[in-house]
Amino acid sequence: MTICSLLPLTFMLPVLTLELGPFESRLLFEQVPIDHEFSLQAPESIAWQEGVGLYVLDQSAQTIFKWDTQGHFIGCIGGPGQGPGEFEFGQIRKGYVSIYGEQLIVLSGNNGRIQVFDLNGLYQETLPVRTNERVPLMLHRIAQDEFLSMDLQFSMADDKNFRILESKPLDGSLAETLAKVPDVGWKHENGVMYFHAFSPALVAGYDRLSSRLVYGDARNAKVTQIFLNNRNDIQEITVPLGETPVTDHDKLTYQSDPVFEDPAMQAVFPEKKPFFNLILPLSKGGLIVAYHSPRSGVIKGVLLQAKSKKAFSVDFGEQGKLLSDGGILFGIVLDDQDEFQIHQFRLN
């Protein structure tokens, strides 16, 4: 079932003055009305279509919020459940939303379903592909019969955990592995689950408009760029980032998660953080590579453009995020009233 509530557009958006490092807010999206059936609780991923609007998948609300291109709130697509057009987004097996042509593609991590909607939010079909044998991290339809995915393949032994970036045919035939990197995020030993905080991993970002995929192993300060419509066009980019030390504040923030109240859950800390854990391809060949500190909104990185490199540091508040789709940059900021603000940025 699809739930949509259309709201009258009766007031002007506020004048925008927010400036954060190299980012300037050009559009502030309306907040979800307080009396709406769903509220923004844990925004996880976005999709943007020029001329249509913004879609925001919320893993706690179990729905997808939609705004038009002027920032006016339109309503919601889907809701919690197991039927057609309903979602199950988990804390580990999360959801992911993306656009392919005139289709909205929604991955429900908990049950591994891939559902297709039109851009108005009407349910069309559930694809005969299931992803529940792995933890899905990213999913894009790159052709009518092909997906780009990044998944976590894991077991209780840390030497058998991998992040895998693949191009997968829809018919279930053999996938093409683009990258495979060990993931040492946790280890189970003597009845205790050890979480290796700030562990490096495979990171990827995809721009569907240019078919540009950028990925890298966060143990190194470099990324690989490839155009999936011309896979011979491969470039290695050195990123001007360094490793930063893990501070006592970082440790306290990480361990503030209620999960660590259980003595069977323990955090293990390295001396330094990885080079990055966020890659955002932008329009005109732009690129952001950054490190987003877990359980905080602090994001430090570099903006790479044709003739410039700009380091930046921003704080979007707890649960804040820096995201991109269609080459456009967005920020989800938690304000002083613990309300989410969604900004579309222009680059200074």
Average pLDDT over residues 286-313: 90
Average pLDDT over residues 288-313: 90
Query: Does any domain span residue 9?
Result: no
Query: Does any domain span residue 13?
Result: no
Range of the domain at 95: 19-347
Q: What is the C-alpha to C-alpha distance for residues 184 and 200, in angstroms, rounded to an integer? A: 8
Please check the confidence at residue 149 and state whether its pLDDT lies above 80. Answer: yes
Query: Does any domain span residue 132?
Result: yes
pLDDT in tens, 70-98: 999 999 999 999 999 999 998 778 899 99
Tell me if 2 sits within 8 A of 82, measured CB to CB: no
Query: Does any domain span residue 38?
Result: yes
Question: CA separation (Å) from 181 to 46, 188, 254?
Answer: 25, 20, 24
295 vs 116, residue with greater confidence: 116
Q: How sure is the predictor about 14, in pLDDT bands with cuts at 50, 70 and 90?
A: very low
Q: What is the C-alpha to C-alpha distance for residues 224 and 206, in angstroms, rounded to an integer? A: 12
DSSP 211: T
pLDDT in tens, 160-211: 788 899 998 887 778 899 999 988 888 888 889 888 899 889 999 999 999 9
- Single pTM value for the model: 0.90
Tell me if 184 sits within 8 A of 158, measured CB to CB: yes
Query: Does any domain span residue 186?
Result: yes
Query: Does any domain span residue 159?
Result: yes
Query: Does any domain span residue 67?
Result: yes
Q: How many folded domains does the chain comprise?
A: 1
CATH number of residue 76's parent domain: 2.120.10.30
Please check the confidence at residue 99 and state whether its pLDDT lies above 50. Answer: yes
pLDDT in tens, 258-279: 889 999 999 999 999 999 999 9
Q: What is the C-alpha to C-alpha distance for residues 124 and 122, in angstroms, rounded to an integer? A: 6
DSSP 160: G
pLDDT at 55: 98
Average pLDDT over residues 233-247: 93
pLDDT at 128: 75
Query: Does any domain span residue 2?
Result: no
Residue 112, token pair as written in the block: 């591994």
DSSP 272: B
DSSP 31: P
